[in-house]
Structure 1
Amino acid sequence: MSLVDYRCSNGIARIRLDDGARGNPIDQAMVDALADAVRQARADDAHVVVLTAAGKAFSVGGDVSAFAAADDPGRLIDDLAESLHRVISELHRMNAVVVSVVAGAAAGAGLALAAAADLVLAGESARFTLAYTKIGLSPDGGSSLLTASLGLHRLLRLALLNPVVSAREARELGLVAQVHPDAELEAAVEEVVGVLRAGSRAAQVAVKRLARETATPAEESALRRETLSIRERAASADGREGVAAFLEKRAPAFPRA
């Protein structure tokens, strides 16, 4: 079974996370398949890339069970974060407008992946949460870059308190561009894609580059710092306890200083 479905027609590439039965977890196999799809979109010279997901969740985030089973969770997460960050960078740099479409949960790295798009469209069922610190980890996937769009204290609230944010609150925060009833989301996406496809690709790409380079001029350094941080946290006692507690469905007992 392919973990990512890719199709391209008339300058529109459609990339769908296709492990909906498991909530589209961000594991190495998923990231590798996603990287292949993004490379194909570049090869097809897509003008618009639409990133969606099958099932009831956009993505539940990292595969926590794999973290627990790893002999060296720090190394596993280091490799995974580096691979995911290459995909995030590619989405940011490609000569296409990227539109993510979120219905259901976008958690952890799933939130970061959705936010890597240039425009985020959400159904009313969408829910966003970072949740890394709940299991003793620090965020990755470009989460720290959201400081530029959300502001420092809004991002710190999301990262430290881990609220579950509704689609409408996410729009108020500046994370989501549009919110629609779930039944109308597909039609709304097609309307946005039509507007983009009819526009000047050169002008749209110029805007994307100007905005991103101004907002996050040190993106690669930030992504590398995220990788180093989450690797350290995954190998720590807090990280191991947080992952174990999550899988055992109990509150973590982090040591107190």
Structure 2
Amino acid sequence: MTTQPSQRIAFLGCGSMNESILAGLLAAGLDPALVTATVRRAERAGELRERYGVHARATGDDDGANIAAVLDADVVILGVKPVGIVPLAREIASALKPSAVVLSVAAAVSIAMIEGALREGQAVIRSMPNTPSRLGRGVLSISAGSTAGPELMERARDLLRPAGTVVEIPEHQVDALSAVSGSGPAYAFYLAEAMAAAGIGLGLDAGLSELIARETVAGAGFMLAEEGADAAALRRAVTSPNGTTQSALETFEELGLPHTIAEGARAATARAAEITRELAGPASS
């Protein structure tokens, strides 16, 4: 599944996750002429054509758009909402080439659910990306379906690598990974919002406070991205004994911030498992 010159990729659904992967791959040199995307609205299809130069079809105007998109596709990336993944897999099952690989980026939809909707033997890989993939700074997990062997997984890794760091994990760890990396960008944005609000509370101009909070979080992210970076070591380097930063961090500890973050991640994991059960129906109860 390497991005060879003749490889064709179909993105079915182009919400934030699929668009992030699409943007990352195109930025790394993928030929847009080899990409087809399907979305519901004609306006959105036009936007994708203009922004990326890819073929884009609107299912709202063409009931056969998904079928047409996958007929010659070597890789089909499913990126609609979780509730629509299994119906979409059923819709395209008979049109897929036997050699095509189906890659799902949907949360909470298991490999078994997708495989059950496709023809027997169709290769399925489950991935959990995050939105920084559009900048080539994402985290993208890959988990093997029943017919996705080591060679196919390596090819999946090669395909997704331009969008960020690719990690291979067993499927039972996907929800935990999603709670950290999938939801994680929102945690960082939430931190920036809270820092800006704190600055305003201390008397800073709102625009200035938002700017410095945003740039501080982004700058710290760049430091963490340096080779060999260690979050704890970076934190200690900024924290002078008995200084202002130490005072702030001790307050965070006293108020239970690490516990709050851990509980939030656990809540995200539990909700993902709950959604999986809801999508699977009574048989999963």
TM-score (norm 1): 0.28
Larger Rg: 2
Higher relative contact order (CA 8 A, sep 6+): 1
